[in-house]
Amino acid sequence: MTPRVLTRVAVAGLTAAALLGATACGSGFDDSTDDTAQSTGPASLQIMIGSSGDAETKAVQDAAAAWATASGNTATVIAAQDLTQQLGQGLAGGNPPDVFYVDATRFADYASVGALEPYGDRISDTGDFYESLRTTFTYDGKLYCAPKDFSTLALQINTDLWTKAGLTDADVPTTWEQLTAAARKIKATGAVPLVLGDTRDRIGAFLVQNGGWLISADGRAPTGDTPENVTALTHVKELVTEGLAQFPKQLDAGWSGEAFGKGSAVLTIEGNWIKGALQNDFPDVNYRVVELPAGPAGKGTLSFTQCWGIAAKSAHKEQAIAFVEAMTSGEQQMTFAKAFGVMPSRQSVRDEYTAAFPADKPFIDGAEYAQGPVNAPKMDSVLQDLEAGLQGLANGDPKNILATFDKNAQAALGGS
């Protein structure tokens, strides 16, 4: 996953409303999907991506051009200025690109209204994709689209500040208890132990580490207010109120990576996108990456991913599937990894990836126990309300925050 996940893509409200409203008014995508005339000869595919920068755009353009030359088709890559908005407009207007990036946080919205072609089972060796990624892009029991790449959260340690606080390799935490102990030692020296993003995309990892999560595996029932989640969120609150963890805004930073780069905290919890950000903005910071400390239920982290979506209304579905097949081969994914820093979604190139990028091994190891995002439609306002509760966690009631989420989520799911 590329640096665009530092801040989740903002919801394009009007566009989403138009997309969802089209189905509600009886002109849904499913109405004409079966009637879409399919081309059988060479096709001109339109591919829309949300690029992290020039390196990604060029890599995808080069890959698309190579596929087109080999297959006799043509492929035009469009780097969207605002993928959510532009894609939403295309889908709602009935003229979407053939192939496009779909972020996991938007997937259920698109799948629930029939905007996506459920082609997943037509891609070779789908079992080679990490299970957590397959689960993320499964809706109503169907694997809709092939995972493009992914990232997970891990623990970053500023090694200079760690040593300055009197800590050694023996103190590197592998459990909640060890993290708390190390944080207390750091705090005793006057330094800030941990900078932690005040969102579900960071705090949620603690829920997973205690055996909990916000929604059921099938995406149909909220599961926020459980003893496992309450205990986990209470643990995070204790870290915050004891001064062992601070949110970025408390350290005058826009995100945890900035605070960590400035040396405002010894530890942070971020994804592998932090590597590029530190290289660009804070090249002198010495740090190491380790897996997140395990909770009472074991290891847990969060995954961030996108898939290659194919429009249900595309007239070139066969060619689009062939394109995705080429883009998700292990060889092509390794080319992308070397070009712009993503982690391949296929397990078969895991060893090749870790050999090329040994420092990223903790991130890719997290794929074995990662939890994907809330996989249900119409949850935007519910999740925004949850975020507000988490941002006020220091003075809030963990059980109330989670119970409020369940109440709001049930209302949204009941009307889906």
Claim to verify: residue 182 and residue 246 sit in the same structural domain? yes
Claim to verify: residue 274 and residue 406 sit in the same structural domain? yes
Q: Are 308 and 60 in contact (CB under 8 A)?
A: no
Distance CA 187, CA 393 (A): 20
Q: Are 193 and 267 in contact (CB under 8 A)?
A: yes
Look at the chain and report how many structural domains it folds into.
2
Phi, psi of 45 (to 5 degrees): -85, 140
Claim to verify: residue 248 and residue 174 sit in the same structural domain? yes
Predicted pLDDT of residue 415: 55
Per-residue pLDDT of the chain (416 residues), as tens digits, is: 434 344 333 333 334 444 544 443 333 444 334 456 675 678 999 999 999 899 999 999 999 999 999 999 999 999 999 999 999 999 999 999 999 999 999 999 999 999 999 999 999 999 999 999 999 999 999 999 999 999 999 999 999 999 999 999 999 999 999 999 999 999 999 999 999 999 999 999 999 999 999 999 888 999 999 999 999 999 999 999 999 999 999 999 999 999 999 999 999 999 999 998 999 999 999 999 999 999 999 999 999 999 999 999 999 999 999 999 999 999 999 999 999 989 999 999 999 999 999 999 999 999 999 999 998 999 999 999 999 999 999 999 999 999 999 999 999 998 54
Q: Which of 340, 19, 324 is nearest to 147 (CA)?
A: 324
Claim to verify: residue 283 and residue 349 sit in the same structural domain? no
Claim to verify: residue 127 and residue 178 sit in the same structural domain? no
Domain boundary among 371, 388, 406: 371
Q: Which of 173, 199, 174 is nearest to 184 (CA)?
A: 173
Q: What is the dihedral of CA 338, 343, 346, 349, to 10 degrees?
A: 50
- CATH code of the domain in which 42 resides: 3.40.190.10
Claim to verify: residue 313 and residue 294 sit in the same structural domain? no
Claim to verify: residue 140 and residue 229 sit in the same structural domain? no
Distance CA 119, CA 174 (A): 40
Residues 6+ apart with CB under 8 A from 233: 203, 206, 207, 393, 398, 401, 402
Domain region containing 405:
152-302+377-414
In total, the chain counts a number of residues equal to: 416
Handedness of CA 367, 85, 121, 76 (dihedral sign): negative
Provide the token pair at 317: 């579905």
Q: How far are the Cα atoms of 29, 132, 299 from residue 234, in angstroms, in the given order? A: 43, 26, 18
Claim to verify: residue 128 and residue 214 sit in the same structural domain? no
Claim to verify: residue 89 and residue 125 sit in the same structural domain? yes
Claim to verify: residue 278 and residue 317 sit in the same structural domain? no
Claim to verify: residue 201 and residue 239 sit in the same structural domain? yes
Claim to verify: residue 169 and residue 189 sit in the same structural domain? yes
Predicted pLDDT of residue 19: 53
